Amino acid sequence: MTSRRLLLLNGPNLNLLGTREPALYGTDTLADVERLTTDAAAAAGYEVRALQSNHEGVLIDTIHAAREDCAGIIINPGGLTHTSVALRDALTAVALPFAEVHVSDVYAREAFRHFSYLDDVAAVRVVGHGVNGYAEAVEQLIAQL
């Protein structure tokens, strides 16, 4: 039987959504993101387990655990997007399809943000659509499951 659960992971500094650089990230909070993601998944008959961490190892351990009870992963890796081979390795090791989400348009920002260690292995990428990008990612990922 296939799992009807998605893992929602948010990386470093995403706990500050709503107050961190609102001109870039908007005023929606992490709680708003989790609610939006949960609602989008529920509309397709899925549940969501959500975690935010500022610690790379916690994110990796959570990805490893997801192989036991999740059908896919929605991840906003934050700054780890541009630096973490270990996060990429964890995502490819568990062999779950995943969606990479970024609230801001990383391609309209500093040059170092244009590179992602995940873009060539992500099943779905949603960049620059604000927090609504999470719901888009859920819909696109579920369509592939």
Residues flagged as binding site: 76, 82, 89, 103-104, 113
Annotated binding site for substrate: 76, 82, 89, 103-104, 113
Active-site residue flag, 46: no
d(Cα 15, Cα 95) in Å, to the nearest integer? Answer: 27
Check 25, 46, 117, 134 and give the catalytic one.
25
Nearest to 39 by CA among 6, 86, 72, 1: 6
Crossing angle between the packed helical segments 56-66 and 85-94, to the nearest 10 degrees: 10
Active-site residue flag, 25: yes
d(Cα 13, Cα 137) in Å, to the nearest integer? Answer: 20
User: Cβ(117)–Cβ(81) under 8 Å?
Assistant: yes
CB atoms within 10 A of CB 141: 27
Check 46, 64, 102, 117 and give the catalytic one.
102
> Which of the residues are catalytic?
25, 102
